[in-house]
Structure 1
Amino acid sequence: MFNMIVPAFIVGGLICVVGQLLMDLTKPSFTPAHVLVSFVTGGAILGALGVYEPLIKLGGAGATIPLSGFGYTLAKGAIDAVGKRGIIGALSGGIEATAVGIAAAVFFGYLMSVTFNPKG
């Protein structure tokens, strides 16, 4: 268990360090929204090139939980679906691969917004 937690912590931490450095070193032009888009796009590109897979094998959840892991899953789903269904798979595969995560985020976000009242 220890050999799974430490690599996940290191890989996930390094991904977060990259995001923090991007925001700190490029102020005020590079906002958190830019980091979000960059990480999802970067994860998709690295996944399509086959570079992100070894990072997932090394870091496990430390590589799949951040936004770059979402981009990787989108790309992998699209690539797998193209092999099964052709060009239509390119349009639907990424959405199918990430549907459970998106649905869970919407559901739990709604649940938290109904449960807790923000203090203004």
Structure 2
Amino acid sequence: MMEYVRAFLAGGLVCALAQLAIDRGKWTPAGVAAALVILGVLLGFSGVYDRFAAWAGAGATMPLSGFGYFLAKGVMVEPRPSGLVETGAAVFRFAGALFAFIVAGSFFAALICKPKG
């Protein structure tokens, strides 16, 4: 039961901080999204996000910072990518399921939701 509470608190904290950056910091939503991905990559390479993800579980991996973490993890898992194409392939090998879920989820959300127009 506590892992659900930790996931909720961690994910909620990340999302609340992002919303504060939009509301109070006058950041654009796209800027906050990019900052979260970049932060996830940087913290993933430094090893800090590993400890956070171990504690928070899905609460750390579901926000956009978790997406950046998975991108960094894909590069770190590959033994020694020797070029841009191999580095990109390493990212997709590790985070391919996440990409597929995002594309499929977006597709079905577009089918269900009615656009404003």
- Normalised TM-score (structure 2): 0.87
Contact 2:36 2:64 (8 Å CA) reproduced = yes
Between the aligned residues of both structures, percent identity stands at 38
CA contact (8 A) 1:78 1:94 kept: yes
On the 8 A contact 2:9/2:59 being kept in 1, the answer is yes
Q: Structure 2: which 5+ residue stretches go unaligned? A: none
Task: Report the RMSD for the aligned CA atoms in angstroms.
Answer: 1.7
**What residue number does 2:23 align with?**
24
Tell me the TM-score normalised to structure 1 length.
0.85
In structure 1, runs of 5+ residues without a counterpart are none
Checking the alignment, whether the CA contact within 8 Å between 1:79 and 1:90 is kept in structure 2 is no
In the other structure, the counterpart of 2:74 is 77
Give, in whole Å, the separation in 2 of the partners of 1:59 and 1:17. Answer: 16
- 1:112 & 1:20 partners in 2: Cα distance? 22
User: 1:112 and 1:13, CA in 2 relative to 1: closer, same or farther beyond 3 A?
Assistant: closer
Other-structure match for 1:60: 57
Distance 2:76 2:39 in 1: 16
